[in-house]
Homo-oligomer: A and B are copies of this chain.
Amino acid sequence: MSWSVSEVRRMSGVTSRTLRHYHHIGLLEPEDVDPGGRRRYGRRELRRLQRILLLRELGLGLAEIRRVLDDERDEVTALRGHLSTLEAERGRLDTLIETVRRTVDALEGDDVNAIRPEELFEGFDAGRYEERARSTWPEQWERARAATEEMSPEEADRMRAEAVERMERMAAHLRAGTPVDDPAVRAEVADLHRGLTRMWTPDAAAFAHLGRVYAEEGPWREVHEKVAPGLADYQRAAMEDYAHHVLAEDGER
């Protein structure tokens, strides 16, 4: 008793292409092939196909399925390994979904979540930092002061708005659990760095220091934390990573 491709197709619902594929990769060989080259499947093959389909439905890859069926690799072990893969995947999806949802909310500007720059920087007093900046990098401080002085109010507003946008994007990375050395975060920090070069060009040490200043207790930190909890520290870590691995000459691999 043996069955042709179309009979197997009718019985099991798999397409002939799938059967050919399984034959090709040696996962399911026909019982025999008649002189005309047509495949014939016996009872054993149908049982095997049945097991293949069950395991496939459970999400195992064909290579893994072959290992289970041929090497008689322990099915339970294989499935348990697969299970943790699946759970990790679901965890990834969970945070991804959460991140996308928040990003949508932020972009929508729901009035509730909307952060207006004026409000964010309200009561902001950089005075405390001026002193130190002036004494540590007097030249850069002078250039920065000159640059900000030349700015029109509209320009200043736009800069603040841009800063908020950057914070929002950074917060998205933070919520996604993206490591600080990920390309996307690197690109973001690189952009921040490029933005700063309009006033001065911080080297590795200065850039890392700036990150730490942002994260210190004080108005800078508050502004960041108002956008998202943990943002200040996250950004500091990202900036330090950038300083070490990108700006420092000896930091590259």
CA distance A104 to B80 in the complex (A): 7
| Distance of A184 from chain B, by nearest CB (Å) | 4
| Distance of A115 from chain B, by nearest CB (Å) | 16
**Which segment of A124-132, A186-194, A228-236 sits at the interface?**
A186-194
- Decide: B47 and A191 in contact? CB cutoff 8 A: yes
| Interface presence of A133 (CB below 8 A) | no
A186 — nearest CB in chain B belongs to which residue?
B13
A74 — nearest CB in chain B belongs to which residue?
B107
Assuming the contacts A57-B182, A87-B97, A172-B54, asked whether A194 and B46 have C-beta atoms less than 8 A apart, the reply is yes
A246 touches which of B10, B53, B56, B57 (Cβ 8 Å): B10
- Decide: A194 and B43 in contact? CB cutoff 8 A: yes
**Chain B residues within 8 Å of A183, by CB:** 12-14, 53
- Decide: B104 and A187 in contact? CB cutoff 8 A: no
A93 touches which of B90, B169, B172 (Cβ 8 Å): B90
By secondary structure, the A interface counts as helix
Q: Number of copies of this chain in the oligomer?
A: 2
Chain A interface size band reads 35 or more
A242 — nearest CB in chain B belongs to which residue?
B11
CA distance A126 to B207 in the complex (A): 83
Chain A, residues 58-88, CB within 8 Å of chain B (1/0): the string is 1100000000000000011001101100110
Residues of A within 8 A of B (CB): 10-14, 43, 46-47, 49-50, 53-54, 56-59, 75-76, 79-80, 82-83, 86-87, 89-90, 93-94, 96-97, 99-101, 103-104, 107-108, 169, 172-173, 176, 178, 181-184, 186-188, 190-191, 194, 246, 252
